[in-house]
Amino acid sequence: MEDVSLTNSRSGLRQLLGVARGRPLAIIVLLVIVIAETLHALPKPVQERYPAWLSETVAVLHSPLESAQAALFDSYQQFSPREPQSQPVTVVAIDEKSLQKFGQWPWPRDVLAKLVNTLDFYEPAAIGLDFYMPEPDQNSIEKLASRLAPEQTYLLKELNALPSSDFQLSMALSSTRSVLGAAGFGFSTYTTTDQLFSIPVSTQGADPLPFVTNYPQVLASLPELQQAAAGQALLSVPGTAGPVRKLALIMAVNGELVPTLALEMLRVATYSEAIEVTSSRTGVDEVRVADLAIKPQHNTDVWLHYAPIATTGARYLSASDLFSGNFDPVMLENKLVLIGLTGAGLPDMRFTSLGEQVPGVEIHAQLVESLFDGALLKRPGWMPWVEILMIASAGLLLIWFAPRPESWVGAVLKFHPALSFAAVLAFAGLMMGLGYFAFWSWGILFSATSVVIGSSLVLGIFIINTLLDNLGEAQARLARLVQNGIALARVHDRDALLEMTLDGVDEITPCEASVILLKSEDNKLSAVHQRGLQAEWEEVIDLQAASEQSGVLGRAFTAAGLIQLSPGDTELMTARWSGLTTRSGKSVRSLLVVPMLLSDKTVGGVVVLINALDPISGDVVNFDPKNEHFVDALATQTAVVIENQDLVEAQEKMLDAMIKMVAGAIDAKSPYTGGHCERVPELAIMLCKAANQTREGALADFALTTEDEWREFTIAAWLHDCGKVTTPEHVVDKATKLETIYNRIHEVRTRFEVLLRDARIERLQAIHERGVEPEEADRVFAARKQQLLDDFAFLAKCNEGGEFLEQDKIDRIHAIGSQTWTRHFDNSLGLSEDERKRLGNQEEQRLPVTEPLLSDRPEHLVERPPTAALDEKFGFKMEIPEYLYNHGELHNLVISRGTLTAEERFKINEHIIQTIFILEQMPFPPNLSRIPEIAGGHHETLIGTGYPRKLTRDELSIPARIMAIADIFEALTASDRPYKKAKTLSESIRILSFFKKDQHIDPDLFDLFLTSGIYKQYAERFLSEDQIDEVDISQYLG
């Protein structure tokens, strides 16, 4: 149901937008916008005659534009706020400090009277009260007297004789040039009235009343206070929700014009008799007070250009400081002084266009300051008409050009819809930049948003219409592309695949000729399939050539993107393209090069399309950009199919490289096995090829007949020692018996040094404490010293492990080790976590401690961790030592042959266990399943004495036996081992023959190894000249 709904929705849109390519709908939208803006721009008296439904409609249509316009004008101010030039205003703030001193608001009127009188003392130009007092003072004497009991007649009489607080304030107001504020109301309450005792406003020309805001009621101060003040003013900010962006200079109360607070204060300060208003039939043209002439909006509004509150803080004077005299009198002398509420919790807070929340009195102060500095913003009455004209002009141009594919605008919409949005953004940026320039240069407010929004709505219709058309065409092409993709996936023949590709390309974008060029491994580009050319494409292109890298084909490979050449492109004039001719006899006029992307995003080839054909006329035209993505997708589908055909080969090459990398890493791990993993496969493959060619004897039936079998053997040969990655280097490289990760003979030598020092001390004590003759003490010391030197030299020689150790030497090692020395330091300090665990819970010893010179201690034993590699299921039959390592000093020094303990020898031999374990965990495919068996048998013998499984002849395959010979011979002849001298070729053959006699290696393979001359071939490749000598093989055959 959703698909049907979506289809119906698109169908409805197409019917609505498809008529005359969207022009009628665009005209309707443009007319609605222009008419709505025109109706909104007409003078207020005209708008008041609109029917209610028309007024509401205009308001709804204009509201989004007005909101966007307000936001734009605010952003202009935020980018360039006003910088105050003068400071004509001082604000006496009823702030937190004052409220703490004089109590909560409202204050008693006698306190306000004192405030006004104090201000008047400093001779301000005028005083404006940014609040109103419509009710009698609740803290007045009259109120207090009314609360007294009737019998308190004397006190009542005395109180009534005192002047009231309202009277005191009226007297203070009458003695100063003061202005009281009032608020206009659209409805009546018990505190409002329909009259305000204000000075009449002088008018010239037409009646301004229809253009200004007229309040039927006003909330003003008490009549006696109004009569005492020099002027009355309205504080109202009509129609504001959010930031206060503009103020009306003139409003009306019940038909009588009343100025705003700032204007009335200027009148009072300049002793002017009246404010003059000049009007015409379109609205108020000018408001004048004294010598100041102001050109407001036709409804007397002026746009405020705000200064940040951070720059106006100097104008604020706390009422508390005023009373205490803690201020500079210059702040008040000849200043326009505003008294306003600024304390927290008081209701008079407003937002400015700068996004700042300020006291309401700051708004009036900003207006006064702007009037003084001539810094009001201007939005002339003709500006809305200019904007309407721009909307109409831009809309009509779009309506004329956008539906025409041959026009620049139509071409962008048709072939590059994304650029349409970029163009809208660029146009919006241009208009807003123009508006900001007018604001910054002349303070003029130009509403770029109305022009941008109006033009965008008209353009949006054409964009949607074009997108719907393109969507329909794309759906048809996509269906064809899917069908081609399915068909390509079923084809395995390379030529048929390429032919189908060109068929699909011709369906998507008809052209005269096409060529598929594929890249070879040597980075050469050659044609593999072509059609439509008079002569076959035979050129082979070297993509590494500098001239090709800058050409169209080279750029297609570099950028991995489509490249199109049109008539007039200079590259079409080059020899390659100018020399091509289609079967129709035409030269190359338009060209599209489509890269064939592989799965790794590299380019494996290109499809070259020549001379696009117009589907209707058949003329040669440019290739349609809308079709490029479909051609690109088809080329990529073909590339992926070709890539899949080559995938097995590529994977095999990658696996081979990884196997060789692992083998190389094992060889590089230790100089004791350097090059072994690389040379063994070479020798094994040579011997395996010889066995494979044998047609008689025990090897006659052996044959590796398939590529998979050879690959299996080769991988096994390369991975035959992969388990060595788990063998620690310090075990493989162990050069002395006491070596772990360092040679502990140095530690033993230090103990001998201690014993020698003890002998010196004993000599001195014998002479000086026990009275032994020096000659006798020297003799004993010399004997002890010589003994220590001999013992250490003996131990050091034994540590080298170069000689077989007889029992008498073993006994002497134990005797030397039984000597004691005294340890004075705690041996549990500075240990690693593993060492602490091995040290265990040994009893705490009191230092100093006497210990044997050499010992096998519990902490020398390293526990063997559990490992899956030693699981019984693998069938390993090796004797496993109890401990992983035994670092005991005596245990290591008494090794009879070599330097390795039983634990260490097992760790080295364990590499074949790990090899088998690792390989059997790998998910080899069936054709490679014998790799673990071949790689894991090269330490087995024919008689079951080998390891790790003690296999016999019948259990060992011929490939596994080949591996055994290759492994032993490489080890015998290796010249890159630091622990032994390289053996000669004859000596190596002789030793290998002993393995044959002992039935450790296959005798038939050994004889083949000699008779085929493989030993010579290997020697010539890998042995040094001084190793190669004459070998009489006859003595080893049979």
Q: How far is CA 301 from CA 100, 122, 307, in A?
A: 38, 33, 19
Give residue-wise pLDDT tens across range 959-971.
999 999 999 998 8
pLDDT score, position 493: 75
Q: Which CATH architecture has domain 676-722+910-1036?
A: Orthogonal Bundle (1.10)
ω before 948 within 30° of 0 (cis)? yes
Q: How far is CA 967 from CA 678, 721, 961, 970, 981, in A?
A: 11, 10, 10, 5, 18
- Alpha-carbon distance 537 to 528, whole Å? 9
Choose the weakest-confidence range: 302-306, 487-491, 855-859.
Answer: 487-491
Whether 1001 shows a pLDDT value over 60: the answer reads yes
For residue 420 the two structure tokens come to 């349409």
Strands 217-219 and 178-185: antiparallel
Q: Which residues on neighbouring strands pair with residue 581, listed in sequence order?
A: 587
pLDDT score, position 478: 64
Q: Do the Cβ atoms of 384 and 41 come closer than 8 Å? A: yes
Q: What is the mean pLDDT of the chain?
A: 85
Q: Do the Cβ atoms of 263 and 249 come closer than 8 Å? A: yes
pLDDT score, position 10: 46
pLDDT score, position 537: 87
Backbone torsions φ then ψ of 1034, nearest 5 degrees: -60, -30
Burial class of residue 328, CB neighbours in 10 A (0-12, 13-18, 19+): exposed
pLDDT score, position 897: 87
Q: Do the Cβ atoms of 191 and 239 come closer than 8 Å? A: no
For residue 215 the two structure tokens come to 């309040």
| pLDDT band at residue 2 using 50, 70 and 90 as cut-offs | very low
Whether 127 shows a pLDDT value over 70: the answer reads yes
Whether 842 shows a pLDDT value over 80: the answer reads no
Please say whether the dihedral angle defined by the alpha carbons of residues 159, 161, 163 and 164, taken in this order, is positive or negative: positive
Mean pLDDT (whole number) for 510-528: 88
Domain boundaries of the chain, sorted by first residue: 16-81+381-461, 89-373, 491-645, 676-722+910-1036, 745-893
pLDDT score, position 248: 92
- Alpha-carbon distance 918 to 721, whole Å? 11
| pLDDT band at residue 33 using 50, 70 and 90 as cut-offs | confident
Higher pLDDT residue, 475 or 354? 354
| pLDDT band at residue 470 using 50, 70 and 90 as cut-offs | low
Mean pLDDT (whole number) for 447-453: 84
DSSP labels for 329-346?
A: GGGTTT-EEEEEE-STT-
Whether 602 shows a pLDDT value over 60: the answer reads yes
Whether 705 shows a pLDDT value over 80: the answer reads yes
Whether 421 shows a pLDDT value over 80: the answer reads no
Choose the weakest-confidence range: 73-87, 181-195, 833-847.
Answer: 833-847
pLDDT score, position 725: 84
Whether 6 shows a pLDDT value over 50: the answer reads no
Whether 449 shows a pLDDT value over 80: the answer reads yes
Residues 6+ apart with CB under 8 A from 254: 194, 195, 214, 215, 216, 217, 218
| pLDDT band at residue 473 using 50, 70 and 90 as cut-offs | low
Q: How far is CA 369 from the centre of its chain?
A: 49
pLDDT score, position 9: 45
- Alpha-carbon distance 944 to 205, whole Å? 128
Query: Looking at domain 491-645, does it have CATH number 3.30.450.40?
Result: yes
The 3-class SS string of 537-577 reads CCCCEECCCHHHHCCHHHHHHHHCCCEEECCCCHHHHCHHH
- Alpha-carbon distance 264 to 249, whole Å? 9
Give residue-wise pLDDT tens across range 934-944.
988 899 999 99
Give residue-wise pLDDT tens across range 616-652.
567 888 888 878 888 888 888 888 888 777 776 677 7
Whether 418 shows a pLDDT value over 50: the answer reads yes
Choose the weakest-confidence range: 29-38, 265-274, 314-323, 1001-1010.
Answer: 29-38
pLDDT score, position 8: 44
Q: Which residues on neighbouring strands pair with residue 248, listed in sequence order?
A: 301
- Alpha-carbon distance 941 to 951, whole Å? 7
| pLDDT band at residue 492 using 50, 70 and 90 as cut-offs | low
- Number of Cα atoms under 13 Å in the Cβ half of residue 860: 17
Measured from the Cβ of residue 284, the count of other Cβ atoms closer than 10 Å reads 26
Whether 7 shows a pLDDT value over 50: the answer reads no
Secondary structure (3-state) at 205:
strand
Interhelix angle 1003-1011/985-997, nearest 10 degrees:
160
pLDDT score, position 1008: 92
pLDDT score, position 238: 64
For residue 1002 the two structure tokens come to 């296959």
| pLDDT band at residue 464 using 50, 70 and 90 as cut-offs | confident
pLDDT score, position 395: 81
Helices (H), 706-773: 707-718, 729-732, 745-768
For residue 183 the two structure tokens come to 């608020």
For residue 899 the two structure tokens come to 């330097």
- Alpha-carbon distance 168 to 139, whole Å? 13
Q: Which residues on neighbouring strands pair with residue 182, listed in sequence order?
A: 234
- Alpha-carbon distance 80 to 67, whole Å? 20
pLDDT score, position 396: 85
Choose the weakest-confidence range: 353-367, 699-713, 836-850.
Answer: 836-850
Choose the weakest-confidence range: 56-60, 119-123, 145-149, 821-825.
Answer: 145-149
pLDDT score, position 161: 56
Mean pLDDT (whole number) for 481-491: 66
DSSP labels for 581-646?
A: BBTTS-B---EEEEEEE-TTS-EEEEEEEEEEE-TTT--EEPPPHHHHHHHHHHHHHHHHHHHHHT
The conformation of residue 351, written as its DSSP 8-state character, comes to E
| pLDDT band at residue 4 using 50, 70 and 90 as cut-offs | very low
pLDDT score, position 462: 75
pLDDT score, position 616: 53
Whether 3 shows a pLDDT value over 60: the answer reads no
pLDDT score, position 154: 56
- Alpha-carbon distance 13 to 24, whole Å? 14
- The position carrying tokens 């998910």 is 923
Secondary structure (3-state) at 83:
coil
- Alpha-carbon distance 185 to 886, whole Å? 102
Closest by CA to 875, choosing from 908, 906, 925, 920, is: 920
Whether 979 shows a pLDDT value over 60: the answer reads no
Whether 36 shows a pLDDT value over 80: the answer reads yes
Strands 89-94 and 316-318: parallel
- The position carrying tokens 């050994």 is 1006
Backbone torsions φ then ψ of 524, nearest 5 degrees: -105, 145
Measured from the Cβ of residue 111, the count of other Cβ atoms closer than 10 Å reads 20
- Alpha-carbon distance 129 to 54, whole Å? 41
Q: Do the Cβ atoms of 635 and 604 come closer than 8 Å? A: no
Angle formed at CA 160 by CA 154 and CA 163, multiple of 5 degrees: 140
Whether 859 shows a pLDDT value over 90: the answer reads no
E strand segments, 5-104: 89-94
Measured from the Cβ of residue 848, the count of other Cβ atoms closer than 10 Å reads 11
| pLDDT band at residue 307 using 50, 70 and 90 as cut-offs | very high
- Alpha-carbon distance 748 to 755, whole Å? 11
pLDDT score, position 122: 93
Backbone torsions φ then ψ of 357, nearest 5 degrees: -95, 125
pLDDT score, position 47: 81
pLDDT score, position 562: 82
Give residue-wise pLDDT tens across range 770-799.
888 999 999 999 999 999 999 999 999 999
Decide: pTM greater than 0.85: no
Whether 336 shows a pLDDT value over 90: the answer reads yes
pLDDT score, position 898: 85
Backbone torsions φ then ψ of 891, nearest 5 degrees: -55, -40
pLDDT score, position 21: 66
- Alpha-carbon distance 339 to 341, whole Å? 7
